[in-house]
């Protein structure tokens, strides 16, 4: 790539850096005669709908701010996408932290105020950065921060570029909601910037002794360690800002980057009156060391002392001899101070000392200093104490705050900068100036509503007494009315597209619905055809589908069908049923169920029931006059059983059925018993011997498909007719076959359809 000319315009000179996804080169633009940075993707997935460089270019193009690296051009060449950016020569904020941390508090406030201003501009344009970290902040040779690397930004309203299919952000700086994979908004950037402030103030990332993954897990459930533990010199005001910005709950952070910016700016104005000296010493509650402190009024020996600073070294050396000579006096002083810790005499601080020196004096006495007001002063230089609220010689308690008025230096002769101030801030900044302020409100979609974006007299211009300064303030975007489209039944993506086309924004909540398909719109407010301002938010309720609830299947066996249905409905279950005969369960009761008792199922599950029809009944056939074996076969085939008893009969041949109970045509439960009486023949008669006879009749001799078969025999001049058998031709056979028992020596006769037929044995 080095030495190559891109787009016939850019000469690639050298590689600046390379990361996991992209490489950045220094190049020279032959048209505009300037150095530029060119970024090219080195690792892109084929599944990407839009490559990250195109995404980044479009994201940055939406934002214009002096503290955001500018994008000049984007093009494709040889199948690759290139973006041409402002070339910023300098180190990253990470490098600066490694060299100089903890940073001076004024530097922290200055850098963070500018970064918050840049991110506020991004958020105003609908862009959320989502990867704020010191490595993505470059410091130019003048110390100006430049925010870069919008490769995983999210366009929050009009844009369609969303990279939510990836794990994004850096574990050390990502907000808890990012780590959970939840939807993020501006407050995630507030959290990440707060972590950057934390690192500038302490020189360490949160939970530095943990691995990135473990540290991330800890961020999900516990606040960051106190800044003051790692850097006792940090002011309570800055620590409070960092604590609020890095709250675990997004709702407890600053509500917007503008609010974060204004908190930092207010602190910046207070810090601006301080001269660039060493930070104030810290009074430790442990490791007390004896020390002599000298001020203009008294010499006292106290503990605990502030930590050593260069500004106090000559004083320490000068006091060393006094400590040696006055040992006894020092011990007595110590005893007095320890015995009466509440009585601390407030020193006189208006004797031409700086705020930092006053702070050191107070800290040495166990007191704190606070700037109550910063005022212009004709003779005192910036940062010097003008006066104090608590009178010299008055008594204070340990850790009390002494309120000071501090000089802002001589009143400026040049016009201050009013850009990006609120109306109240502008009035406060103009206080004391010999000018008249006039505010004009103008619609401007590029500037947040309520902020100054133009001043009629440029900053640093000579102030003409009595002149009028006109400040133009943004009224935000001009209200243009649009109608809310009807979103009912649309998918979430379709609804979002409809609203974007109508220049509206969508916020969603989810709710279960039995009637609306999952992922589709249940309702929205404002409703369809309502007129609203452009860029208004439409609250859309998206269906989560039917709510799946579990229930336990009750036991409904051996109870009436109607009772079983009621029991199932009580636990929100449906039912279906089949019926079958049962000799054990009474008619109308539940024989069985599926699923069974105790099963956990979803509500509205169907439980299948089997309902009893009671015992199955059959019609009792006639077996009277039949031989015993044949009677048994007929009853068995009818689903009945046979029991028998025997008796003598002068009329019924031995082995034949004399009578039966129940009789022919009666209904009886299937499987029940029919009792028959079998003849033993005439009492004292000669025993008859029976012989089995196989009857075979070809189907060709039978003219009909259904037919009757009957037998008769004659023995000793007595004719006996057998019962009539009803039969049907079997398509798989060619003849009718049956076996009967007849007395030996008898003459047998066969009848088909009551017509005598040849008897084949």
Least confident of 7-11, 606-610, 713-717: 713-717
What value does the mean pLDDT take over residues 384-399? 91
What value does the mean pLDDT take over residues 721-742? 82
12 has a pLDDT exceeding 70: yes
DSSP code per residue over 14-63: EEEEE-SSEEEEEEEETTTTEEEEEEEESS--TT-SS-HHHHHHHHHHT-
Q: What is the pLDDT of residue 189?
A: 94
CA triplet 754, 760, 761: central angle to 5 degrees? 125
570 has a pLDDT exceeding 50: yes
What value does the mean pLDDT take over residues 192-219? 91
Residue 192 exposure: Cα atoms within 13 Å on the Cβ side:
29
Residue 730 makes CB contacts below 8 A (sequence gap 6+) with: none
Give dist(CA 77, CA 12) in Å, integer: 14
336 has a pLDDT exceeding 90: no
Give dist(CA 287, CA 290) in Å, integer: 10
What letter would DSSP give residue 132?
Answer: -
Give 264-283 pLDDT, tens digit per residue: 988 877 655 444 433 332 22
Q: What is the pLDDT of residue 421?
A: 87
What value does the mean pLDDT take over residues 84-104? 91
Q: What's the pLDDT band for 300 if we cut at 50, 70, 90?
A: very low
567 has a pLDDT exceeding 60: yes
Contact 168, 178 (CB under 8 A): yes
Alpha-helical regions (H) of 83-154? 93-100, 105-124
Q: Closest Cα to residue 757, out of 694, 706, 711?
A: 711
What value does the mean pLDDT take over residues 710-738? 81
Q: What's the pLDDT band for 653 if we cut at 50, 70, 90?
A: confident
Which residues are known to be catalytic? Answer: 131
The sign of the CA dihedral 524, 527, 529, 535 is negative
Percent of the chain with pLDDT over 70: 83
Q: What is the pLDDT of residue 337?
A: 38
Give 231-277 pLDDT, tens digit per residue: 888 998 999 999 999 999 998 999 999 999 999 988 877 655 444 43
Q: Closest Cα to residue 726, out of 749, 750, 753?
A: 753
Strand partners, 439: 471
Q: What is the pLDDT of residue 191?
A: 96
151 has a pLDDT exceeding 60: no
**pLDDT, greater one: 641 or 709:** 641
**pLDDT, greater one: 278 or 558:** 558
Residue 506, φ and ψ in degrees, nearest 5:
-120, 135
Give dist(CA 455, CA 36) in Å, integer: 32
568 has a pLDDT exceeding 50: yes
Domains of the chain: 5-86 (3.30.200.20), 91-271 (1.10.510.10), 291-407 (3.30.10.20), 423-474 (3.30.10.20), 481-543 (3.30.10.20), 550-612 (3.30.10.20), 616-688 (3.30.10.20), 689-761 (2.60.40)
Q: Closest Cα to residue 566, out of 558, 575, 605?
A: 575
| Strands, E assignment, 512-640 | 521-525, 531-533, 537-543, 550-552, 574-580, 590-594, 600-602, 606-612, 617-619
Q: What's the pLDDT band for 1 if we cut at 50, 70, 90?
A: confident
- pTM as predicted: 0.40
Give dist(CA 524, CA 29) in Å, integer: 51
Give 23-55 pLDDT, tens digit per residue: 899 999 887 788 999 988 765 544 444 455 565
> Dihedral angle at the C-alpha atoms of 453, 431, 381, 143, nearest 10 degrees?
-10
Q: What is the pLDDT of residue 740?
A: 76
Q: What is the pLDDT of residue 742?
A: 74
What value does the mean pLDDT take over residues 401-419? 84
Residue 739 makes CB contacts below 8 A (sequence gap 6+) with: 692, 693, 694, 695
Q: What's the pLDDT band for 585 if we cut at 50, 70, 90?
A: very high
Percent of the chain with pLDDT over 90: 38
Mean pLDDT of the chain: 81
**pLDDT, greater one: 410 or 157:** 410
719 has a pLDDT exceeding 70: yes
Give dist(CA 557, CA 563) in Å, integer: 10
Q: What is the pLDDT of residue 303?
A: 31
């Amino acid at each position: 790539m080095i030495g190559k000319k891109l787009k016939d315009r850019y000469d690639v000179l050298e590689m600046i850096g390379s990361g996991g996804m992209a490489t950045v080169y220094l190049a020279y633009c032959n048209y505009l005669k300037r150095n530029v940075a060119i970024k090219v993707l080195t690792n892109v997935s084929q599944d990407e709908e839009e490559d990250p460089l195109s995404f980044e270019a479009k994201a940055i193009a939406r934002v214009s701010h002096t503290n955001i690296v500018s994008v000049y051009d984007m093009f494709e060449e040889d199948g690759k996408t290139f973006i041409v950016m402002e070339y910023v020569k300098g180190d990253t904020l990470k490098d600066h932290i490694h060299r100089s941390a903890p940073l001076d508090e004024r530097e922290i406030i200055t850098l963070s105020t500018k970064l918050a201003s840049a991110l506020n501009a991004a958020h105003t344009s609908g862009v959320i950065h989502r990867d704020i970290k010191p490595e993505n902040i470059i410091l130019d040779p003048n110390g100006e921060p430049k925010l870069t690397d919008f490769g995983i930004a999210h366009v929050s309203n009009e844009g369609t570029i969303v990279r939510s299919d990836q794990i994004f952000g850096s574990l050390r700086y990502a907000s808890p909601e990012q780590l959970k994979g939840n939807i993020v908004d501006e407050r995630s950037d507030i959290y990440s910037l707060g972590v950057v402030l934390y690192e500038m103030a302490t020189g360490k990332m949160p939970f530095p002794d943990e691995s990135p993954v473990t540290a991330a897990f800890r961020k999900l459930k516990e606040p960051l360690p106190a800044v003051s533990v790692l850097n006792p010199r940090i002011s309570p005001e800055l620590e409070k800002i960092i604590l609020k910005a890095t709250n675990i709950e997004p709702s407890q952070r600053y509500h917007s980057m503008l609010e974060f910016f204004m908190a930092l700016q207010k602190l910046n104005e207070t810090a601006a009156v301080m001269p660039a000296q060493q930070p104030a010493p810290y009074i430790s509650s442990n490791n007390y060391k004896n020390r002599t402190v000298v001020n203009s009024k008294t010499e006292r020996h106290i503990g605990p002392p502030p930590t050593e600073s260069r500004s106090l070294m000559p004083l320490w050396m000068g006091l060393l001899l006094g400590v040696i000579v006055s040992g006894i006096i020092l011990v007595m002083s110590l005893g007095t101070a320890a015995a009466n810790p509440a009585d601390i005499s407030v020193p006189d601080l208006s004797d031409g000392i700086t705020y930092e020196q006053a702070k050191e004096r107070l800290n040495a006495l166990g007191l704190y200093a606070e700037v109550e007001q910063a005022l212009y002063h004709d003779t005192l230089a910036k940062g010097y104490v003008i006066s104090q609220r608590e009178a010299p010689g008055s008594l204070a308690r340990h850790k009390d705050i002494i309120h000071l008025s501090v000089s802002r230096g001589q009143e400026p002769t040049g016009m201050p900068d009013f850009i990006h101030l609120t109306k109240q801030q502008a009035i406060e900044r103009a206080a004391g100036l010999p000018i008249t302020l006039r505010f004009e409100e103008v619609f401007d979609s590029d500037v947040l509503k309520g902020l100054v974006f133009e001043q009629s007299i440029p900053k640093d211009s000579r102030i003409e007494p009595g002149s009028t300064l006109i400040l133009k303030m943004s009224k935000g975007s001009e209200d243009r009315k649009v109608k809310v489209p009807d979103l009912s039944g649309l998918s979430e993506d379709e609804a979002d597209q409809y609203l974007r086309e109508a220049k509206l924004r969508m916020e969603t909540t989810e709710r279960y619905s039995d009637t609306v398909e999952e992922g589709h719109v249940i309702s929205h407010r404002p409703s369809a055809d309502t007129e609203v301002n452009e860029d208004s938010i439409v609250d859309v309720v998206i269906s989560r589908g039917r709510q799946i609830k579990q229930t336990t299947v009750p036991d409904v066996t051996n109870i009436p069908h109607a009772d079983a249905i009621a029991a199932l409905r009580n636990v929100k279950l449906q039912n279906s049923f089949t019926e079958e005969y049962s000799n054990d369960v009474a008619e109308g009761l539940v024989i069985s169920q599926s699923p069974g008792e105790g099963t956990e199922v979803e509500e509205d599950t169907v439980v299948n029931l089997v309902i009893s029809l009671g015992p199955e009944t059959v019609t009792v056939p006639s077996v009277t006059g039949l031989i015993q074996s044949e009677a048994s076969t007929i009853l068995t085939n009818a689903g009945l059983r046979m029991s028998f008893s025997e008796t003598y009969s002068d009329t019924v041949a031995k082995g034949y059925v004399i009578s039966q109970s129940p009789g022919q045509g009666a209904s009886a439960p299937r499987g029940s018993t029919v009792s028959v009486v079998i003849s033993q023949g005439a009492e004292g008669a000669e025993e008859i011997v029976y012989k089995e006879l196989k009857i075979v009749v070809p189907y060709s001799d039978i003219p009909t498909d259904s037919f009757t078969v009957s037998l008769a025999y004659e023995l000793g001049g007595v004719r006996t007719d057998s019962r009539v058998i009803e039969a049907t031709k079997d398509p798989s056979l060619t003849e009718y076959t049956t076996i009967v028992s007849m007395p030996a020596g008898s003459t047998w006769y066969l009848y088909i359809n009551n017509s005598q037929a040849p008897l084949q044995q």
